[in-house]
Structure 1
Amino acid sequence: MTSAFDHFTSTAASFVRGQSGARVGALGPRPLEPFLLWEFEACPFCRKVREALSILDLDALVFPCPRGGTRFRDEARARGGKTQFPFLVDPNADDRALYESDAIIAYLFARYGHGRAPRRLTLGPLTLATSALASGLRLPRGRAARPSRAPDAPLELFAHEASPDARLVREVLCELELPHLSRSCAEGSPTRDALRTHHGDVALPFLHDPSAGVSIHGARDVIAHLERTYALPA
């Protein structure tokens, strides 16, 4: 399901972004509920927001909206008024809704961090250019929808944005339009320690699929499960 080329290009994508999202930064108040995020993996603007979530150790219920997708794109438009991604809703702040990656990042760091986002997220054209290059290294993966069946309940993915293996899994989740709770597990995250306590020293990414009643770790096995369980013939 994955090749040496996949791992090389995914690792390169993390490299060009300076491993942004690999480590938890300075944290502020903790939200009680996960954010709601409509996005798609190959979008460079969405990548910036995912990096911010990893740095701030924030969880999000992700609704993948790849091109040609039919499961969540209309829902995003109905809720926010336009089909534009990323689109984030904060249920901890009276369902505040935000578009535009820079506005989302500024909001997250102001409310849940220590005020200012790190420079690698605020360098304007340079940040966008490196994020777009990271997307280009993995095209066409994580961009367009494939036929799939919906799970009975959202999946749960423990990972972080800078992980090359996690990227390979997120691409499949996106293409198959599988909703999932993204549990941030960057270095320094308490969630990583809790995962180790409950499941042992598992390799990230770690997926729990409540619909299938299984927990799986490692990109190759997770992707095999997703393809076997949810992908449909084209």
Structure 2
Amino acid sequence: MQTLNVTRSVLVSSLAGWRGAMVMRRARRQPEQPLQLYEFEACPYCRLLREALTELDLDVLVYPCPKGGTRFRPQAEALGGKAQFPLLVDPNTGTVLYESADIIEYLARTYDGRVRGARGVMREIKLASSSLASAAGAGRGLMARPSKPAAQPLELYSFESSPYSRLVRERLCELELPYLLHNMGKGAKTDIGPPIVRDRWFKAEKGTSRNRRALLERTARVQVPYLIDPNTGVEMFESADILAYLNQTYAA
């Protein structure tokens, strides 16, 4: 089953053009307080924003709002006035904003980054591929599943196009578990490829972006996904192990 899920996730990344892999237009400033994002994993508009967050090298506190969810959907509607996603809340400026293109441009402008293709023909192409990717996702990260709440948000080191990280994000979304997403996009071409190639054969530099350096300092490894659960003290690599842990700890 894990092999089938990974294959499906690779297809999703391929249809989305593997966007959200590299830190391409890094924001020169980081928010003092975490950005807050209400979204759900299967939403094609939300995917466009998550791709930009990886490329801008910005972290975000995710409040998953899958369909049928009761934990954060009402909260999002109360904040913005309607059940539409993605919804960004920036506590640093008091901004509450809908529409993925508007949010992407706002983030680039506010935190001194650059964006490309947020509007126009390029956006339409991106949206079409993102919609195909959502269809290939077979409904994962779309509907809420019964779960126990987490007292504190979890933390996840991930980047948008990582097939293994997507499996974890889908489950966090379905279980309505909030998490601080540490985007660790690839900072150099030498980051491309599996860790065994990058680290053992090429001996390439590991800490090529902000969160890659942070994870390297914390674990002496650069590999995604990496989950931190402050509620239990658990920290772990490997998507299959993380999924089993989330099911055992939080699935009702």
**What's the TM-score bracket when you normalise by the shorter of the two chains?**
over 0.9
Q: Give the fraction of aligned pairs with identical amino acids, expressed as a percent.
A: 47
Q: Which runs of 4+ in 1 moved over 4 A?
A: none
Once residues 120 and 85 of structure 1 are traced to their aligned partners in structure 2, the CA distance between those partners, rounded to angstroms, is: 17
2:42 paired with 1:42: yes
TM-score, with structure 2 as normaliser: 0.87
TM superposition shift of 1:202: 4.7
Quote the residue 1:83 is aligned against: 83
Q: Tell me if structure 2 keeps the 8 A contact 1:166–1:205.
A: yes
Once residues 100 and 121 of structure 1 are traced to their aligned partners in structure 2, the CA distance between those partners, rounded to angstroms, is: 11
Once residues 69 and 25 of structure 2 are traced to their aligned partners in structure 1, the CA distance between those partners, rounded to angstroms, is: 36
Once residues 52 and 237 of structure 2 are traced to their aligned partners in structure 1, the CA distance between those partners, rounded to angstroms, is: 24
Aligned residue pairs total 229
Secondary structure, aligned partner of 1:156: strand
Matches within 5 A, 1:31-180: 31-93=31-93, 95-115=94-114, 117-119=115-117, 123-180=122-179
Once residues 194 and 124 of structure 1 are traced to their aligned partners in structure 2, the CA distance between those partners, rounded to angstroms, is: 32
Quote the residue 2:202 is aligned against: none
TM superposition shift of 1:133: 0.8
Q: Tell me if structure 1 keeps the 8 A contact 2:88–2:97.
A: yes
* Higher RCO (Cα < 8 Å, 6 or more apart): 1
Once residues 120 and 36 of structure 1 are traced to their aligned partners in structure 2, the CA distance between those partners, rounded to angstroms, is: 20
Once residues 114 and 201 of structure 1 are traced to their aligned partners in structure 2, the CA distance between those partners, rounded to angstroms, is: 28
Specify every segment of 5 or more residues in structure 2 that has no aligned partner in the other structure, as ranges. Answer: 188-208
1:118-154 superposed Cα distances (whole Å, 9 cap, x missing partner): 2387613211110011111112110000000001110
199, 208, 216: which one pairs with 2:219?
Answer: 199
Secondary structure, aligned partner of 1:63: strand
TM superposition shift of 1:91: 1.5
Once residues 220 and 156 of structure 2 are traced to their aligned partners in structure 1, the CA distance between those partners, rounded to angstroms, is: 16
Once residues 203 and 124 of structure 1 are traced to their aligned partners in structure 2, the CA distance between those partners, rounded to angstroms, is: 30
TM-score, with structure 1 as normaliser: 0.93
Alignment CA distance shift 1:202-1:121 (3 Å): farther
Specify every segment of 5 or more residues in structure 1 that has no aligned partner in the other structure, as ranges. Answer: none
Secondary structure, aligned partner of 1:119: coil
